[in-house]
Structure 1
Amino acid sequence: MTETTRRQALLISATLLAGTAFGLTPALAQTFPARPITMVVPFAAGGSTDVVARIIAQKMSEGLGQQVIVENVAGAGGSTGAARVAKAEPDGYTILMGTVATHALNPLMLKRKPYDAVTDFTPISLLVVVPNVLVVHPSLPAKTVPELIALLKADPSKYNYASSGVGTPLHLSGELFKTMAKVNMQHIAYRGAGPALNDVVAGQVPIMFDNLPSSSEFIRAGTLRGIAVTTKERAPSFPDMPTIAEGGLSGYETYTWNALFAPPKTPKEIVDRLNAEALKAVKDPAVQERLKTFSATVVGSTPEALGEHVKAEIAKWTPVVKEAGVQID
């Protein structure tokens, strides 16, 4: 066989293989899923993302006819688990329960980028939004957002605020507040919301931005004062608590959200099937009741809407991260 003939044969073989592969995609999509699906949660078990994942995974399992197994892959603020899904086979059998951390904050703050939040994932659906909340120790003489802003402006070097750690959505909620209100507070970073809450309840730090579910029992008990929620709308679990935007910072909005993503180049037929089952899950009355217990607001979006949401979140947080000067190795 001459060199020219050999090249022609290789080209024909490659063309046939490519055609076969493309031809198999619809067939594979039609039989999907044929085995269990792994839903990667990029944080430790027990947190709000893990809870949402397990509720959704259980319901999706019923509709898909295959078990959706939750696997916790913690590390690097969620980036370890997210990177694993970004590099997985695009067959629908490995999906990610992503968050604002994995798809907006980490990509902006990490010096080494393990993935591109936009191009390295296929969006499936934005599932829920969980409010954050601005709380203070009851001894602080401020009961509203305007009163707190006035207090901070009157003595710019006096007050500190706590968060669950550097670079977390809660830390950046505080930085966004500072920027928009034109006030100063010293950030006190803790290793988790639990230790931070303990010090705020004890009066060691007067102010904190927290996930609403974590602070709820303290607000109801009166050991913390809920000033305002950080979402655009009031939280159903605390209908009398105003939003920060209502308090005078028009346009202020932060929250924790959970969304499903697949690896890049996952076939549309498979994405559509996963999206349909995710939407069925979040619309189920029993699922909604469970999600309401920790103030989660159900969204249930199209893949396209989630893709636009990620881009919007990156655009929103870019100036905040830059202003805060947060960089993580």
Structure 2
Amino acid sequence: MIMSDAISSRPVLFGSPPSTFPPCRLVASPADVRIRRAGPLLGDVRMSLPDMIGRAALVTAAALSFVVPAGVVPAAAEYPERNIVLIVPYGAGGGTDIGARMLATDLEKVLGKPVTVENRSGGGGWVGWGALAQARPDGYMLGLLNAPSFYTGYLDPQYKRTETLDSFTPLVNHVLDYNAWSVRVDSPYRSVKDVIEAARATPDKLTIATYGVGSDDHLAVLSNQAESKVRFVTVHYRSTAEAKTQLMGGHIEVLSSNVSEIIEEARAGTLRVLGVMAPQRSQFHPDVPTFREQGFDQDWSVSRGIAGPAGLPPDVAAKLTRALEQVITSKEHQQKAESLGLLVHLVKGDEYRAFLKANETATRKLMGW
């Protein structure tokens, strides 16, 4: 159920993605075109050999003008024509699921077709991501990409997955969800500095809970551990909900999570937030100092964006990107996101892919993969 580690490495910081948006560059895929063979005779008129060759050449040229290269799906003239599936690679109720359902509700209003959320959890998210990578690239199956958790499946040598970032067509980033450390309200720790001093006094004893090896929660702990030169006992759970339960039960001392995942408990006063790993104070916790304010150079978040499988037709990708941009930039959508503790941050096309690639490099370096 759980496992622990005490990995130390040089910290690599994840900053916010950029906000300029060059266009997507995409590819299409196959249709089957059948060509009826022309005969040499037309009624009783006999054709000379040059005539037959000329007519055959014309027929061939006309037929070839309709042939779509193998491996290519023709773009839909009126996309979308039916229901779209949005894969969430985690269980219901988490930060990814909540944001995805909010997005799907608004997206179907713009596209005029239902957008159905499907939770396909397991394998650290790769049950869902694997299904997305293998989907027909026609725009009717999309999915949430969570970075840096997404990279673990193909960077970590023990998993040996064949997919990579190139197995997908990143469309837009939707939200950033910054990392935060929290404790029970009866905890003796009242700041990040208190936690570090306790870990320094008793190495390999203080416990911090995260969701999964290679998750942003985990990388945030490793980064702080390396900078502070202390050793925590990091305990990995199958979900943040389970980690919170263990924290509230007194089995864990500190929780590393995303802001949206603890916002209800913080508002209810059942958890104390010690610090947020953001460039400035969180609008959701304005009274909580950042890690940098407390002397720790930490800026960590999970980015959650929308992608399709590799090979989306350019016009389908462009229409999806325009629709997603319309949703994400609307005031109504941003207000809904804010109520859930989510920070909307739109990045699209090549700029989004470049951001994902940079974070992949940083994850590989920090984890030693």
TM-score for both structures, normalised by structure 1: 0.84
Does 1:69 find its partner at 2:116? Answer: yes
Please tell me the residue identity of whatever aligns with 2:343. T
- Residue in structure 2 matched with residue 281 of structure 1 by the alignment: 327
The residue identity in structure 2 corresponding to 1:288 is Q
2 CA distance for matches of 1:88 and 1:69?
16
Corresponding position: 1:58 with 2:105: yes
Q: What is the distance in 1 between the residues matched to 2:356 and 2:66?
A: 34
Q: Which amino acid aligns with 1:100?
A: A
Cα displacement (A) at 1:20: 2.9
Q: Secondary structure at the match of 1:20?
A: coil
Counterpart for residue 191 of structure 1: 238
| Cα distance in 1 between the residues matched to 2:199 and 2:167 | 42
Alpha-carbon distance, 1:261 to partner:
0.6
Which letter does structure 1 place at the counterpart of 2:218? H
1:35 to 61, 70, 82: 82
Could you tell me how far apart the structure 1 residues matched to 2:335 and 2:183 are? Answer: 29
Call closer, same or farther: CA 1:82–1:162 in 2, change over 3 Å.
same
CA contact (8 A) 2:170 2:308 kept: yes
Whole-angstrom CA distance in 2 between matches of 1:122 and 1:16: 32
Query: What secondary structure sits across from 2:257 in the alignment?
Result: strand
Relative to 1, partners in 2 of residues 1:208 and 1:60: Cα closer, same or farther, differing over 3 Å? same
Tell me, in whole angstroms, the C-alpha distance in 2 between the residues paired with 1:43 and 1:213.
15
| TM-aligned CA deviation for residue 249 of structure 1 | 2.4
Distance 2:76 2:161 in 1: 29
In the alignment, is the contact (CA less than 8 A) between 2:198 and 2:206 conserved in 1?
A: no
What is the deviation of 1:121?
0.7
Q: Pick one of 130, 138, 148 that aligns with 2:177.
A: 130
SS in 1 for 2:366: helix
**CA apart distance, 1:245:** 2.8
- Indicate whether 1:307 and 2:349 are aligned: no
How far the C-alpha of 1:80 sits from its partner, in A, is 1.3
Letter in structure 2 aligned against 1:82: W
Give distance in 1, aligned partners of 2:220 and 2:198: 19
**1:72-221 equivalences in 2 (<5 Å):** 72-100=119-147, 103-109=150-156, 111-221=158-268
2:337 pairs with 281, 284, 291, which one?
291
Determine the C-alpha separation between the residues in 2 that align with 1:187 and 1:73: 26
| SS of corresponding position for 2:165 | coil
Larger Rg belongs to: 2
- C-alpha separation between the residues in 2 aligned to 1:31 and 1:193? 41
- Whichever residue aligns with residue 144 of structure 1, its letter is S
1:204: how far off? 3.2
- Give the CA deviation at 1:310: 0.9
Q: TM-score, normalised by structure 2?
A: 0.75
How many equivalent pairs are there? Answer: 310
Change (3 A) 1:161 1:14: farther
Name structure 1 gaps, 5 residues minimum.
Answer: 1-8
Partner of residue 3, structure 1: none
SS at match of 1:301: strand
Quick one: distance in 2 between partners of 1:126 and 1:15? 43
Q: Amino acid of the residue matched to residue 229 of structure 1?
A: V
Q: Please say if 1:260 is aligned against 2:310.
A: no
Q: How far off its partner does 1:125 sit? A: 0.2
> Is the alpha carbon distance of 1:156 and 1:290 closer, same or farther for their aligned partners in structure 2, counting shifts above 3 Å?
same
Identity rate, percent: 26
Maintained 8 Å contact 1:105/1:314: no
**Gapped regions of structure 2 (runs ≥ 5):** 1-55
Farther off after superposition, 300-309 or 133-142: 133-142
* Residue 21 of structure 2 is aligned to residue 21 of structure 1: no
Structure possessing the higher relative contact order (Cα contacts under 8 Å, 6 or more residues apart): 2
Deviation at 1:18, TM superposition (A): 8.0
CA distance in 2, matches of 1:191, 1:258: 19
Is the helix fraction higher in 1 or 2? 1
Cα distance in 2 for residues equivalent to 1:28 and 1:199: 50
Query: Does structure 2 conserve the Cα–Cα contact (< 8 Å) formed by 1:108 and 1:321?
Result: no
Does the 8 Å CA contact 2:73/2:138 hold for their aligned counterparts? no
Shift of 1:221: 4.2
Q: In the TM superposition, what is the alpha-carbon distance from 1:138 to its structure 2 partner?
A: 4.3
